[in-house]
Amino acid sequence: MLRTQPTTSLLIKSLIIFFSILIQYPAIAKEGMWIPATIKDHEKEMKSMGLQIPIEQLYNKSGTGLNNAIVLFGKGCTGEIISSKGLILTNHHCGYGSAQGLSTAESDYFANGFWAMNLQGELPCKGLTVTFIRRMENVTSQVLEGLADTLRDSFRDTVVALRIAALEKEFKTKTGLDASIKPYFDGNQYWVAITETYRDIRLVGFPPNGIGAFGGDVENWMWPRHTGDFSLFRVYAGADNKPADYAATNKPYTAEQFFNINVSGYKEGDFTMVYGFPGTTKEYISSFELSNVYNITDPISIEARTRRLDIWTKHMSWTRTIFLKYTSKRAGVANGWKKWQGEMLGLKANNVIGKKQAYEKTFQQWADTSKSVLYAAGILPQMRTAAEIATPLLTQEQYIKEAVLGIELVQQGAAFDNVIACFRLGLSQDGLRDTLTKLVTGMEGFYKNYDPPTDRDVFISMMVLYFNKCTSWIPDEFKDQYRAHDQDVNAWAADVYKTSMLTSIAQLKDFAANAKAGDSTKLQADPAWRLYNAIATMRKQKITPVLKDYTSRMRYLDRLYTNAQMQQFKNKTFYPDANLTLRLTYGQVKGLDPEGAAKYSFQTNLKDVVALNDTTVDIFKVPKKLKELYAAKDYGRWGVNGTVPVAFVASNHTSGGNSGSPVLNAKGELIGTNFDRAYEGTMSDYYFDPTRCRNISVDIRYTLFIIDKFGGAGWLVDEMNIVKAKPTTSTKAKK
């Protein structure tokens, strides 16, 4: 598939310009998210940086590698197995949704934390799964055989999908496990992951927010950090140690591979690795696509979410009931909001768009004279044209997604669509009521965490924003409702939230229980649904077709562009963009010095946490017991120099999805749990700057201190294999 190189003179010229962009990278920061099955190719470099174990211990075809101690936690985090009894360590924020589902006003795990004191006390988490990656294999030749690089995606996708389905079925038959094939390098490679998903997962330990979410939005995506962002779960299995639905008779999963825990510490410059499931990166995209991120997607999202978060925060401060309804949702919305601000800062500070434009000029010079990659010359011009057409619609789409659909009542109109559709099925009256009741019952989860007065204030703010920013793209239904209320958005909001059936699960249940065949007109008159239907119709007719064509076009061109770059620089080792598949990255413990002026330490400690205590600000309230432990210097065996290490930074290349990833030392032992990136380096999804890009992790000693001394759950520590200042590579289960 990949063709020959261009002429020597042009190649040398291109390489000089290309690597002049990268020459700033010192040895201490290693860009790249590597497929475990290819990590052998990096053995020499990893050994030179400090790796002390055989590379095969990290991953091998025989299935005994440490990849078997890593799990995809839920739908977008990472977890690690830290005992032979299936104990999982992940982030506090990764366990937030599960803790919210189990919390009540009487059992408030956010305020008080949760610690199981035995296996019987562990709490089942409905719907939560973890997935192990048992093996990976390159299947590119089977998927792409005979398909030309320039084959249009419409036909190519059909062929690829058929081949993938057949291959996955073949792997499942051969292995008895699940198999998932995903594209890499924008569809220029395909790899299969042989997986095993466990469905009975239970909550074991969850620190209160005063530890697990300490610092809140103020410290999120920042260094220094002072949060104990961790939680504990356990995998349960059937009698055969295989996945099983929840049952009281299930047993803790017996793990043959799990992480030894090293509590001897680390120093700046020490070799580290991060193993996990990074979510999404776009390191190879064009300047045109990146410009849309910088000028449209990020700023609009920040603008709309700032308004929504301000309102949610105000209402959450009023009552604990509203706090519990919105705390998990707020954390999710705020996470992206803060990250995108840092991303824009980093993109601007590094002039990343300008650097990409300079690189594209070099690429175009090579492409114009290339005799081996004949399609290369037309890639960038086509990208530019496609982006120019799509830009105005991308703006409208982003305001709809973040402003209009940021209103929960309007967004809930999508569920109402299914209710309305029932009236077109010709059901008997009993059948209609039964079907409607089932649909409405399925909405209970939404209403458990919904507060109409809070959402009404969001409605007011978001409609003002939408009307101001999208004057020529406002559906008539929006204008009509606005005019019907004398162009008073407050009166409009009050009426919508008073009359809409969508504000109350009780109203929906009552309607479902008494519905008649002609009652669909009542639903279609609902003001909230009419707003949803109007915006959905406009998107479907005027926006989605154009953006769908743009996305399809850019996907095709991105594939060709990545392919061409890999052919232009055949001596460069490329890594695939993150796609929520298992990766290993490596670097070193390294403090942060983004401006070259003030260097922050590479580590924070409990003394720093207590110094930040502020009883007037919820996110900086240190729990009473933690202050008492500090005052008494009651650290158990986890103390160091009169305090306890809390968090540290290193130069590993991470992304969303790496939340909860194990941070390993040179011996493959666990020294921390990754939970964040530094604000100045969040643009690493698009560009890796070694002076700014840092991953932030909870020190394992702080985790153990909180479990043992604060949580009083020393029985959990007893089942871990803890080592200190002595080499060990064993990952076998303890007898």
Dist CA 55 CA 39 (whole Å): 8
CA angle 369, 371, 372 (to 5 degrees): 130
**Residues 260, 731 contacting (CB under 8 angstroms):** yes
| Two structure tokens written together for 145 | 């055989």
Quick check: helix, strand or coil at residue 521?
Answer: helix
Quick check: helix, strand or coil at residue 317?
Answer: coil
CA angle 413, 415, 421 (to 5 degrees): 100
φ, ψ of residue 237 in degrees (nearest 5): -135, 165
How long is the chain? 735
Dist CA 720 CA 716 (whole Å): 7
DSSP secondary structure, 399-467, as one string: HIIIIITTSHHHHTHHHHHHHHHGGGS---HHHHHHHHHHHHHTTHHHHHT--HHHHHHHHHHHHHHHH
Of the residues 149, 186, 200, 229, which is catalytic? 229
Q: DSSP character for 93?
A: T
Dist CA 121 CA 101 (whole Å): 16
φ, ψ of residue 664 in degrees (nearest 5): -115, 150
| Two structure tokens written together for 34 | 């590597």
| Two structure tokens written together for 460 | 């007011």
Dist CA 124 CA 107 (whole Å): 15
Gyration radius of the chain over CA positions = 27
Antiparallel, parallel or unpaired: β 583-588 and 271-276: antiparallel
Q: CA nearest 498: which of 449, 459, 448, 440?
A: 459
Antiparallel, parallel or unpaired: β 251-252 and 231-237: antiparallel
Of the residues 93, 226, 315, 653, which is catalytic? 93
93 given a catalytic annotation: yes
Quick check: helix, strand or coil at residue 281?
Answer: coil
φ, ψ of residue 132 in degrees (nearest 5): -95, 145
229 given a catalytic annotation: yes
CA angle 247, 250, 254 (to 5 degrees): 150
Dist CA 334 CA 315 (whole Å): 15
Give, for 308, the enclosing helix (H) or strand (E): helix 298-316
Residue 25 CB-density burial (10 A; 0-12 exposed, 13-18 middle, 19+ buried): middle
φ, ψ of residue 182 in degrees (nearest 5): -125, 155
Of the residues 659, 661, 684, 697, which is catalytic? 659
DSSP secondary structure, 331-388, as one string: HHHHHHHHHHHHHHHHHHHTTHHHHHHHHHHHHHHHHHH-SS-TTGGGHHHHHHHHHH
245 given a catalytic annotation: no
Cβ-based neighbours of 144, under 8 Å, separated by 6 or more? 1, 160, 190
Helix 489-499, helix 527-538: angle, nearest 10: 110
What are the residue numbers of the active site?
93, 229, 659
